[in-house]
């Protein structure tokens, strides 16, 4: 184990793997190095400025496309994303595992949103999610 600035380098012992090919068999040995940030902390519940938690939707349908989502991740805590697409039977490989594609700050990810996981606040369990909407302006 080596420490360099804010990262921890883990050296995993050498392992041997057999690689099978069409006409050959070879043994490959190598080290696996994992880089783990040491300063990783969960983002606690705190609503982004100008947003409030929306009412729980009655169903998971196309009306959620374009909505802002707030989800609690296991290692990272609460993150904001935007629902970009609802999967349908037109994409059966995705439709069987996921129901929505969400755009996060670091890229796209497919999710299976479940209404029973709709929760917010400090006591919300991991994998909870809620929709956010802009605060209504007073006239």
Count of domains in the chain?
2
> Binning pLDDT at 50, 70 and 90, where does residue 30 land?
very low
Same domain, 74 and 118: yes
Look up tokens 């374009």; give the residue: 66
The sign of the torsion formed by the CA atoms of 46, 49, 51, 99 equals negative
Instruction: Write out the residue range of the structural domain in which residue 114 sits.
Output: 51-134
Q: Is residue 12 part of a domain?
A: yes
Q: Which residue has the higher pLDDT, 1 or 137?
A: 137
Question: In whole angstroms, what is the distance from residue 87 CA to residue 136 CA?
Answer: 30
Q: What is the CATH number of the domain that holds 58?
A: 2.30.30
Q: What is the pTM of this model?
A: 0.67
pLDDT tens digits for range 61-106: 999 999 999 999 988 899 999 999 998 878 777 777 888 989 988 7
Q: Is residue 139 part of a domain?
A: no
Query: How far is CA 25 from its chain centroid?
Result: 38
Residue 9 has a pLDDT of 43
Question: In whole angstroms, what is the distance from residue 50 CA to residue 60 CA?
Answer: 25
Same domain, 78 and 116: yes
């Amino acid at each position: 184990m080596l420490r360099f600035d804010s990262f921890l380098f883990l050296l995993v012992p050498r392992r041997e793997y057999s690689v099978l090919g069409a006409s050959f068999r070879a043994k490959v040995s190598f080290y696996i190095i994992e880089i783990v940030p040491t300063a990783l902390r969960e983002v606690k519940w705190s609503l982004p400025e100008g947003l409030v938690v929306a009412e729980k939707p009655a169903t998971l349908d196309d009306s959620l496309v374009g909505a802002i989502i707030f989800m609690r991740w296991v290692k990272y805590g609460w993150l904001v994303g935007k629902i970009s697409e609802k999967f349908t039977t037109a994409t059966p490989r995705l439709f069987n595992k996921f129901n929505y594609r969400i755009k996060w700050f670091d890229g796209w990810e497919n999710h299976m949103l479940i209404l029973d996981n709709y929760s917010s606040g400090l006591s919300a369990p991991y994998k909870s999610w809620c929709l956010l909407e802009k605060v209504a302006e007073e006239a």
